[in-house]
Amino acid sequence: MGTATGASYFQRGSLFWFTVIAVSFSYYTWVVFWPQSIPYQSLGPLGPFTKYLVDHYHTLLRNGYWLAWLVHVGESLYALVLCRRKGITDSQAQLLWFLQTFLFGVASLSILFAYRPKHQKHN
């Protein structure tokens, strides 16, 4: 989606960072929920490290997983606050910011932080 200005401003984030986040979070989900199916020996240095974490810190991994999602919910809600503060009042743009931030966290939120709306003079 192209960027608009003012009330309907939305900008999609970097495909590079979204790919890195999606792959990482997918791997994290796999580690937390299906660790027995991971081919540790085929993952190079990541395999033994992941196996160690699964064997010794699986509860911490699981709790961290849910904490990460909770943080993403908080970031998404904060994105809505930022939308209002920056004059983004279009409900579709707000929904896009909410969803993008929920899925990709600070990679999305940083774009919204950087947005500087042009303020109109009020007489």
- Please tell me the distance from the alpha carbon of residue 73 to that of residue 58, in angstroms, as a whole number: 23
- Please tell me the distance from the alpha carbon of residue 10 to that of residue 6, in angstroms, as a whole number: 9
Write down the pTM of the prediction: 0.84
pLDDT reading at 4 higher than 90: no
**81-118 per-position pLDDT tens digit:** 999 999 999 999 999 999 999 999 999 999 999 999 88
List the chain domain ranges. Answer: 13-114
**6-37 per-position pLDDT tens digit:** 899 999 999 999 999 999 999 999 999 999 99
Q: Is the dihedral of CA 13, 14, 16, 20 positive or negative?
A: negative
Opening angle at CA 55, ends 42 and 70, nearest 5: 95
What's 6's DSSP letter?
Answer: G
